[in-house]
Amino acid sequence: MAKYLLVSFKTCPWVQRAAIVLREKNVAFEFRHIEPDNRPDWFLAISPHKKVPVLRIDEKVSLFESNAIAEYLDETIAPRLHPDDPILRAINRAWTDYVPTFASSVTATGYAVDEASYKTSAEKIPVAFERLERALEKQGAGPFFNGAKYSLVDAAYAPFLQRYFFLNRVRPLGVIEKFPRLKAWAEALIKRPSTHSFPQGEFETLYRRNLKRRNVWVSQFVADVAVAAE
């Protein structure tokens, strides 16, 4: 088995997506957490966009972009998470293509710098949620996107659905309750052990600390977390 090193910022959802795929495939890997504000030269040399995740394989090859990493892992390591059927696979890929739009509705709300931009961003969350709700209706029974079998779509959305719950606990948004299939899917993903790179309480504290450190509008609603750098 190859040697895998996953270069990470601890709170990065795109890193989490890659880590989920590695865990779903039961692959041993080393996490290397670096600081966003202090990216080492060795990292800058292997990351074309200077972003995480980077998956370093056998200390030789560096893959970047979470979707490319997930697809690579799925092509090279069993069990296959993509569906065998080419039509279903295309539908799955279409929904992983939607992840950045979906993600930005939640992320932009969390990172809004004032109340007006928080409200404008929060209004976009139901639009994205509604699209996923309709997709889940078409897909049929859960608990996962394709039904009983876990997929790359699950791995891609889990980090952002988790962050919706985190943000909702900082300041209630009350959106997901209007989308029962999405809510059930999100809850199934949160329960899945592969979703988690850190103990859940510890990770939520990291998320809150990150909001505080960024001094965003919602950080005023985050109580009692130390803001010292990790």
Ligand X SMILES: N[C@@H](CCC(=O)N[C@@H](CS)C(=O)NCC(=O)O)C(=O)O
- Decide: 190 and 165 in contact? Cβ < 8 Å: yes
CB atoms within 10 A of CB 74: 19
Taking the least distance from each CB to ligand X, the nearer of 51 and 56 is 51
Q: Does 83 bind ligand X (CB under 6 A)?
A: no
Taking the least distance from each CB to ligand X, the nearer of 55 and 125 is 55
Q: Which element (helix H / strand E) includes 63?
A: strand 61-64
Q: Does 187 bind ligand X (CB under 6 A)?
A: no
Least Cβ distance, residue 100 to ligand X (angstroms): 7
Q: How far is CA 50 from CA 34, 37, 71, 101, in A?
A: 12, 11, 21, 21
Least Cβ distance, residue 122 to ligand X (angstroms): 20
Question: Tokens at residue 139, please?
Answer: 């897909």
Taking the least distance from each CB to ligand X, the nearer of 53 and 110 is 53
12, 55, 152, 156: which one binds ligand X (CB under 6 A): 12
Least Cβ distance, residue 189 to ligand X (angstroms): 18
Look-up of token digits 């697809």? 71
4, 14, 111, 207: which one binds ligand X (CB under 6 A): 14
Q: Does 211 bind ligand X (CB under 6 A)?
A: no
Burial class from Cβ neighbours inside 10 Å (0-12, 13-18, 19+) for residue 227 reads: middle
Q: Site mask, ligand X, residues 35-74, x = CB under 6 A?
A: ---------------xxxx-----------xxx-------
4, 7, 9, 118: which one binds ligand X (CB under 6 A): 9
Least Cβ distance, residue 96 to ligand X (angstroms): 10
Question: Tokens at residue 190, please?
Answer: 């949160």
Indicate the residue type of 77.
Answer: I
Q: How big is the site for ligand X, counted in residues (CB under 6 A)?
A: 10
Q: What is the dihedral of CA 115, 158, 90, 61, to 10 degrees?
A: 100
Indicate the residue type of 185.
Answer: W
Q: Does 106 bind ligand X (CB under 6 A)?
A: no
Residues that bind ligand X (CB under 6 A): 9, 12, 14, 50-53, 65-67
